Structure 1
Amino acid sequence: MKALVLAGGTGSRLRPITHTSAKQLVPVANKPVLFYVLEAIADAGITDVGIVVGDTADEIRTAVDGAGFDGLRITYLPQHAPLGLAHAVRVARDFLGDDDFVMYLGDNFVVGGITALVEEFRARRPDAQILLTRVPDPTAFGVAELDEAGQVVGLAEKPAEPKSDLALVGVYLFTPAIHEAVAATTPSGRGELEITDAIQWLIDRRRDVRSTTVSGYWKDTGNVGDMLEVNRTVLESVEPMVAGDVDAATEIVGRVRIAPGATVRGSRIVGPAVIGSGVEVIGSYVGPFTSISDGCRIEDSEIEFSIVLPGSSISGVRRIEASLIGRNVEVTPAPRAPAAHRLILGDHSKVQISS
């Protein structure tokens, strides 16, 4: 069995971060989302991995190769444009051959991994197996319709009038039967080859398509709000460790992980939180659910429920929260404007001005 990881999207919902960086490499608890995907694949016993890449191919290749995922044989598969999930399967046709495979969207996060799902698929081996979860707004996702017996009878991509609240999670399992379905798929109204259309092709021909409803935690980390929520979830299970240089004037509360090479002086760190290598925290407060990446500097500031990417500095800022701060960013107070009132008053006026 092989794995196909999709990492070619543009990340438009995470702009401006993704103007200069791949969305799959934005860190959660100081580790790129894509790395969690690859770890889950390795834990499931899959060793051959194809990564579909686009404009950010060089950045993704450098990060993945540099991380050294032992035991994984990784092949990079160029996709000239993000033309849909079914198009990605077409791009990977030669790599996949006649093997079963799991397709995993590189910006999706599934707590607990995919091992149980892969084992279930291997035991039953349907033509396709999809993951579903209930969502409050299904119009933003691929949506499944089930009959009274729980069988999948219909799929639609981002429907204006969804027939259920069951959204497709970004993990799919296929036998080689999907290739015939993908070959028969034509572009949708969005101009993309939709994987939902390919799976519907299998359903219409009475092929074996099964679903598993995910009751645990799943997030598409395509926007800032979801990224922060995933960061919160991962930090809740972080193992506390203080390996950096922390002085006696600093207070550490709760599950806090401070990497070797970090320096903390006269500060208060309240977990769950992670402080990366080479970070300096001086006279500051770092609150719960915050990840500070390598090489950052936080001085005379307060930050909580946020992600700060490598090389950034925050100095003299009273309060930051629910924020995603990119690489090599400088955050400082704005110059204080002189206070003044400009008045044009008629005769016999009475004006009260607060001082």
Structure 2
Amino acid sequence: MEGLTDGRPKALLEISGRTLIEHLLDRLRGPVTDVCLVTGPGDAESFRRILGESYGDLRVHIAVQNSPVGVADAVRRAEALVNGPFMVVMGDCWYDRDLSSFPQQWQSADTDGAVLVEPADAAGGQPIGLVTLTEERVTGMIKAPWSGQADLRVCGAFLFPLKFFTSAAAAHRPESGEHELEDVVQELIAGGATFRAIRYEGWRRNINTPADLRAVEERVDTLSDPAAINSSE
């Protein structure tokens, strides 16, 4: 992706005249009032220039991860801004449907957290983790590739309880080199926390390659074309 990103974060890639992060924030409207973007050193100003202090009715906060040592570590950079359950969404994902129902479904599930999932063999790029279930409750999460049996994978979004931060510190293994969300989910489950698997019913794509970017651009064009939408209904 280096030739396409020109050294910028993937979230700043342009798709049909707007950045990926703008497309993503459009999917979060509703129950979400504040967002915290975790960026690398030197990227905060680029995001602030595009989004300002707010994006529509979303207040925009920015935190900086000084070293790229995993997604869980990135989330920990936002701890000072969090005072209750919170959602984590990967910044390189594009979704064709609103994500507002994700927290709403979690609230009715009576669990500590939730994981948005899709079939493990769905198109859409690399998974964050493969998920094992018992009656829609997450029993395990393993970073792919994995030789065991799993029908579902995470598709870029989580809901966590506030105790994420305590468990993230306990799950951190400096010798492993990276601090990932799979480890924190496992730590939380081992401590008695429950997670509901909520299935994403739309089309989405992790943007990892130029082919992924082209697929998203084609999807955006389709959704913008009333004739194409009507013909698919």
TM range (shorter): 0.7 to 0.9
Structure 1 SS opposite 2:52: helix
Matched residue, 2:170? 184
Asked whether 1:65 is paired with 2:49, we answer no
Higher strand share: 1
Structure 1 SS opposite 2:136: coil
> Counterparts of 1:239 and 1:69 in 2: how far apart (Å)?
25
Asked whether 1:117 is paired with 2:117, we answer no
Matched residue, 1:48? 34
Structure 1 residues 230 and 190 mapped into 2: Cα distance closer, same or farther (>3 Å)? Answer: farther
Give ranges in structure 1 of 5+ residues lacking alignment. 1-13, 241-253, 256-355
Per the TM alignment, residue 188 of structure 1 is displaced from its structure 2 partner at its CA by: 7.4
Per the TM alignment, residue 189 of structure 1 is displaced from its structure 2 partner at its CA by: 7.2
Alignment of 1:28-43 (within 5 A): 28-41=15-28, 43=29
Higher relative contact order (CA 8 A, sep 6+): 2
Per the TM alignment, residue 23 of structure 1 is displaced from its structure 2 partner at its CA by: 1.1
Per the TM alignment, residue 228 of structure 1 is displaced from its structure 2 partner at its CA by: 1.1
Per the TM alignment, residue 239 of structure 1 is displaced from its structure 2 partner at its CA by: 4.8
Q: Which among 85, 91, 113 is matched to residue 128 of structure 1?
A: 113
Does the 8 Å contact 1:188/1:194 carry over to 2? no
Matched residue, 1:197? 183
Per the TM alignment, residue 140 of structure 1 is displaced from its structure 2 partner at its CA by: 4.0
Structure 2 SS opposite 1:183: helix
Instruction: Give the TM-score normalised by structure 1.
Output: 0.58
Asked whether 1:91 is paired with 2:77, we answer yes
Per the TM alignment, residue 168 of structure 1 is displaced from its structure 2 partner at its CA by: 0.7
> Counterparts of 1:130 and 1:161 in 2: how far apart (Å)?
21
Structure 2 SS opposite 1:180: helix
Structure 2 SS opposite 1:63: helix
Matched residue, 1:105? 90
Asked whether 1:212 is paired with 2:173, we answer no
Per the TM alignment, residue 108 of structure 1 is displaced from its structure 2 partner at its CA by: 0.8
Per the TM alignment, residue 106 of structure 1 is displaced from its structure 2 partner at its CA by: 1.3
Asked whether 1:156 is paired with 2:142, we answer yes
Structure 1 SS opposite 2:61: strand
> CA deviation digits over 1:84-142, x for unaligned, max 9?
1111121111111x311111111111221111112112333522100111133899421
Does the 8 Å contact 1:77/1:92 carry over to 2? yes
Matched residue, 2:5? 18
Does the 8 Å contact 2:138/2:194 carry over to 1? no
CA RMSD of aligned residues (A): 2.4
Residue identity over aligned pairs, in percent, reads 23
> Counterparts of 2:52 and 2:15 in 1: how far apart (Å)?
19
Higher helix share: 2
- Which residue identity is paired with 1:89? V
Does the 8 Å contact 1:127/1:178 carry over to 2? no
Q: Which among 209, 213, 235 is matched to residue 221 of structure 2?
A: 235
> CA deviation digits over 1:219-247, x for unaligned, max 9?
1112211111111111102157xxxxxxx
> Counterparts of 1:151 and 1:72 in 2: how far apart (Å)?
31
Structure 1 residues 129 and 235 mapped into 2: Cα distance closer, same or farther (>3 Å)? Answer: same
Structure 1 residues 226 and 165 mapped into 2: Cα distance closer, same or farther (>3 Å)? Answer: farther
Asked whether 1:168 is paired with 2:154, we answer yes
Structure 2 SS opposite 1:124: coil
Asked whether 1:143 is paired with 2:125, we answer no
Structure 2 SS opposite 1:130: strand
- Which residue identity is paired with 1:216? G
> Counterparts of 1:180 and 1:232 in 2: how far apart (Å)?
42
- Which residue identity is paired with 2:194? D
- Higher-Rg member (1/2): 1
Does the 8 Å contact 1:44/1:118 carry over to 2? no
> Counterparts of 1:216 and 1:237 in 2: how far apart (Å)?
12
How many residues are aligned here?
225
Does the 8 Å contact 1:128/1:199 carry over to 2? no
> Counterparts of 1:204 and 1:22 in 2: how far apart (Å)?
34
> CA deviation digits over 1:235-283, x for unaligned, max 9?
102157xxxxxxxxxxxxx78xxxxxxxxxxxxxxxxxxxxxxxxxxxx
Structure 1 residues 26 and 140 mapped into 2: Cα distance closer, same or farther (>3 Å)? Answer: closer
Give ranges in structure 2 of 5+ residues lacking alignment. 229-233
Q: Which among 182, 192, 212 is matched to residue 226 of structure 1?
A: 212
